[in-house]
Amino acid sequence: MNKGFLGAAIMAVLAGVVLSQNGYCLPPCNPCTPQIDNHTVIEAVPGLRATVEIIADYGNCSVTYTGYEWQVSWGDGVRSMKNISHISPEQAQHTYQAPGTYTVTVGYCAVPHYCCESCTTLSKTIDVKN
């Protein structure tokens, strides 16, 4: 067993998950998948900024399910994440260093345990200006 695998295995066991020899998570990952509503907004706003207003729905997740993560990749190497218990609308803004064209990707994920997530994503290319 190599040291990298051993370190990952120890971290996973501490999180309540076991890794197999080939690095896969055990127990098997089979979470529900939330969906992103078509009313979600991704747009550039004046002043080298962008805004995201994400509206998620349960998809095939039970309304009693807890353990979600909201993600935004702003297209310039910066990423925002937030862990939340229940599905809810979320909003974030980002300021860019320079004008340009950026592809912003939002994701809403069910995360039942370490090393296991199921996400729905939505991307949009925006033109950021001063």
Domain 31-128 has CATH 3.40.50.620: no
pLDDT exceeds cutoff 80 at 117: yes
Statement: residue 60 has pLDDT above 80: yes
Is the CB of residue 90 less than 8 Å from the CB of residue 71? Answer: no
pLDDT above 70 (res 21): no
Q: Where are the domains of the chain?
A: 1-29, 31-128
Q: Does 25 score more than 90 pLDDT?
A: no
- Label residues 51-80 b or e (16+ Cβ within 10 Å = b): ebebbbebeebeeebebbbbbbbbbbeeee
Spatial distance between the Cα atoms of 6 and 8, rounded to a whole number of angstroms: 5
pTM above 0.85, yes or no: no
User: Which one, of 123, 81, 76, lies nearest residue 102 by Cα?
Assistant: 76
